[in-house]
Amino acid sequence: MKYNNTTRKKLKIVRVSTVPASLYTFCNGVLKALSEKYEVVAVSSPGDRLKALGEREGVEVRAVAMERHISPFKDLKSLWRLWRLFKKERPDMVHSMTPKAGLLSMMAARMAGVPVRVHTFTGLIWPTTKGFKRRILIITDRILCSCATHLNPEGRGVRDDMVRQGITRKDLTIIANGNVRGIDKRHYDPGRADVIQVAEPLKHHDKVTFIFVGRLVGDKGINELVEAFGRLHKMRPETRLVLVGQQEPDLDPLSTDTLEKMANDDGIEVVGRQEDVRPWLLSADVLAFPSYREGFPNVVLEAGAMGLPAIVTDINGSREIIENEYNGMIIKPRDSEALLGAMLELTDNGKKRVLMASRAREHIISKWSTEIVRQGLYDYYDKILAERLSLK
């Protein structure tokens, strides 16, 4: 995409996330394209990836420390630093993502008089929490929304939850079918020779391989997945489960029973975090993704683009990507029995598994390719900046 900018000084956009990894992952190539028309500044907590982001995208970066969890004193310091930054930079728009960055940057941008303040909800935490924490999270989302001028839920499920809970009365605009990153169909291509070469030694042709990619934590349904697979493996020894990702014992630890099964079940392989998940996806037969909550899970898109059907839970995002019995199966969340049933069916019914796999890639690319998602974002920026700033 090319922009023309010959007569007017570039407008300035600030993109904010709590940690640099979010911008690094979700804005790959986006900030570089935006900088053809706009002056772009990326803001997050300090880290090597923030510097790498600036070098890769060719944009200015600014480091402002932000805590991911509630920390009143540190949060006030972060709010003040963001306010000072926005007063100095004088951006025309601040666009945030991730919960803490959203709350702090929307408040700071409003106090600094930034005319266009956008937040993207990539997922909601409070629907799966209870008690006092839930009330606090709802209140903070309401404050965030009151400070923003534009709100983008990532998908219909996130939007519907916000409406049901009365989080805001403002318009909620879904951009480009919901996903914020999109899938690069050339990168996630099961026909790539370089990926096939790496994937081939990882395959077990005599087994049906289920794979999970993501954080190995309770909220991702790992306890249920390990429980269900343990029972499946006893009934069908020709099965295998590969877990790609890292644990977060300080934030969301797995149960002791799950950890023991992961260590002792010879059908389970824990391979840790992988920089390139494509060979691992290509070496598997089915994605198993029994998460409790999501915004719009990229791994389900990535697996589909690599030709994998998926077993997902009936939650936001996942139910928008997977059509039950078409390119995968949808089951109840937190239900190891339902998960076992789906895994058993796709183990025994190879014809069904292959048919779902044949539909998976086209289903993803036709709705969430990088080109579609990015153009939706670029058009949205042009529209809201023109409306808010009365530009022709």
pLDDT in tens, 102-116: 999 999 999 999 999
pLDDT in tens, 116-128: 999 999 888 898 8
d(CA 381, CA 364): 24
d(CA 314, CA 331): 6
**What are the CA-CA distances from residue 367 to residues 108, 119, 246, 288, 309 (Å)?**
35, 23, 30, 22, 16
Percent of the chain at pLDDT > 70 equals 97
Average pLDDT score over the chain = 94
pTM of the model: 0.84
d(CA 313, CA 322): 10
Instruction: Copy the structure tokens of residue 126.
Output: 């409070």
Apex 94 CA angle, 88 and 96, nearest 5: 125
Residue 255 · residue 221 · CB < 8 Å: no
pLDDT in tens, 193-208: 999 999 999 999 999 9
State residue 97's pLDDT score.
94
Instruction: Copy the structure tokens of residue 356.
Output: 């779902």
For residue 388, the Cα-to-chain-centroid distance in whole angstroms is 28
Residue 179 · residue 209 · CB < 8 Å: no
| Torsions phi, psi for 339 (to 5 deg) | -65, -45
Using only C-alpha atoms, what is the Rg of the chain?
Answer: 22
User: Could you count the other beta carbons within 10 Å of the beta carbon of residue 86?
Assistant: 23
pLDDT in tens, 311-346: 999 999 999 999 999 999 999 999 999 999 999 999
pLDDT in tens, 65-96: 999 888 899 999 999 999 999 999 999 999 99
Instruction: Copy the structure tokens of residue 105.
Output: 């940057």
| Torsions phi, psi for 153 (to 5 deg) | -75, 140
Q: Which residue is associated with the tokens 């709100």?
A: 151
Residue 106 · residue 93 · CB < 8 Å: no
Domains assigned to the chain: 12-182+370-389 (3.40.50.2000), 193-367 (3.40.50.2000)
State residue 5's pLDDT score.
40
d(CA 277, CA 293): 22
